[in-house]
A and B are shown apart, each in its own frame.
Chain A
């Protein structure tokens, strides 16, 4: 009897798990269950290229024929509501049952609904799915002034697109700077300058307390804690996500800011794995339990689980990387800062910069702006496992490519 593998969640991580499992094992019976209609697609472009071209076909991870040819049983529009660990079976809301030998949870994350009054206002946008992005594109077409709550990747990627389309844009960020959770202050300030130069208004340090609405209940602006009213005929809520852990929690699996897994991405139940935005795993350098919202982490973890389930086990130890496209600027991040880290910012010119994170004098993370080569060099250096010291880099004017080339040439 071939092994039965069920994957819950048909986002990019769940899809990759199915594809890699099939690549490694021609016999397994693979079922991929997703809530949304249609074929699995990429989310990162929803706030980037899709806002421009609006072409959903470009987003598809594979055509329909791929699933047929590879015998991946794709179950659309189905939400798994229950895991029966005793008999190893999942059940969907509509009553479909799928037995499993191994179960992979790729349930992703959902958008946070912060404690803001009237957050259920009609016409308030948030971005998670293709349907959300399609609604936003259509709203941008007739909007004059967009108010964005949240100065993170998605809020800023959208703001840049909307501004380029000629719309007035105001971004409201509760923290004192942009992208405060993911980049160092120097990079935040560079991006703030770029958005201001585009004509976007930035409001810092003020939480939104209420979604204003018209008499018909349609979102029409945002009220800030200091009483400022910002009017906007399009309002986007982009204030982060939280992991979808309810299914795992109900099945008795441990949750700690995500579904807890070990370095093999396995839960305490050896039949169940978790990956991507919903999984809390031990980071291989520090051993600290972390959760990443990153398409790279989701796909690398999917490949690792596929290896583990097909007789080629190895611990998950990929270097994390992230990117964001805002206007014509590309932000790339390689590695992760540590708690005791300190940063060193190098500005090459008005739109090129690198911020390096050091802990105890050792490089742990590189944030680059319009410096793809430096980003790639950082990934290579961090993956090598060899410590890169601050003084090593200082001798090369903090140019990672130069330093890497010098070490490659060294005898």
Chain B
């Protein structure tokens, strides 16, 4: 799969916005490059609740979020490796939990809302 060139820090108006909401309700709006992953977008915007220890290799589960219910069906489905990793993330939700390193940002994700878990393990 070809990926769009990826330039963190470059922001323009066509770039999708993703909202990360902490447990206490604090909202962070992140402008994210098309072609990057939601995890990379969080990292580049310094969202503290996303650790991403493995750097996006689907080898840990520390970029776990709960997707806003309105968005769950609008994301590409999970592959089996992601599901397996999520089973043992912190308090996973069978429908809403995702690993952000496995979600590629497209124009269609503009406005995505995700909730951060209480902790990452």
Residues of A within 8 A of B9 (CB): 63-65
Contact present for B8 and A63 (CB under 8 Å): yes
The A375-410 residues at the B interface (CB cut-off 8 A) are 376-377, 379-380, 401, 404
- Complex Cα–Cα for A296 and B61 (A): 12
Of the four ranges (under 10, 10 to 19, 20 to 34, 35 or more), the interface on chain A belongs to 35 or more
Say yes or no for A44: interface residue by CB 8 A criterion. yes
Indicate which residue in A295, A321, A376 contacts B84 across the interface (CB closer than 8 Å): A376
Segment touching A, from B43-51, B68-76, B106-114: B43-51
Say yes or no for A75: interface residue by CB 8 A criterion. no
Contact present for A401 and B87 (CB under 8 Å): yes
Residues of B within 8 A of A44 (CB): 54-55, 57
Say yes or no for A122: interface residue by CB 8 A criterion. no
Indicate which residue in B7, B40, B48, B58 contacts A372 across the interface (CB closer than 8 Å): B58
Shortest beta-carbon distance from B86 to chain A in Å? 9
Provide the main secondary structure of the chain B interface.
loop
Shortest beta-carbon distance from A330 to chain B in Å? 7
Whether A62 contacts B44 in the complex (CB less than 8 A), given A42-B55, A376-B61, comes out as yes
Contact present for B44 and A55 (CB under 8 Å): no
Contact present for B48 and A23 (CB under 8 Å): yes
Say yes or no for A325: interface residue by CB 8 A criterion. yes
Say yes or no for B60: interface residue by CB 8 A criterion. yes
Contact present for B55 and A69 (CB under 8 Å): no
Shortest beta-carbon distance from A135 to chain B in Å? 21
Say yes or no for A45: interface residue by CB 8 A criterion. yes
Shortest beta-carbon distance from B84 to chain A in Å? 3
Residues of B within 8 A of A49 (CB): 56-57
Scan A5-29; emit 1 where CB is below 8 A from any B CB, else 0: 0000000000000000001000000
- Identity of the chain B residue whose Cβ is nearest the Cβ of A331 in the assembled complex: B59
Say yes or no for B81: interface residue by CB 8 A criterion. yes
Residues of A within 8 A of B7 (CB): 57
Contact present for B55 and A373 (CB under 8 Å): no
Residues of A within 8 A of B84 (CB): 371-374, 376
Indicate which residue in B5, B40, B46, B83 contacts A66 across the interface (CB closer than 8 Å): B46
Contact present for B59 and A332 (CB under 8 Å): yes
A-B contact list, 29 entries, CB within 8 Å: A44-B55, A48-B57, A49-B56, A55-B3, A55-B6, A57-B7, A58-B36, A58-B40, A60-B44, A63-B8, A64-B9, A65-B9, A65-B46, A296-B54, A323-B54, A323-B57, A325-B59, A330-B59, A330-B81, A372-B81, A372-B85, A373-B84, A373-B87, A373-B88, A376-B85, A376-B87, A376-B89, A377-B88, A404-B88
A: residues with CB less than 8 A from B are 23, 42, 44-45, 48-49, 53, 55, 57-66, 69-70, 295-296, 299, 321, 323, 325, 330, 332, 370-374, 376-377, 379-380, 401, 404
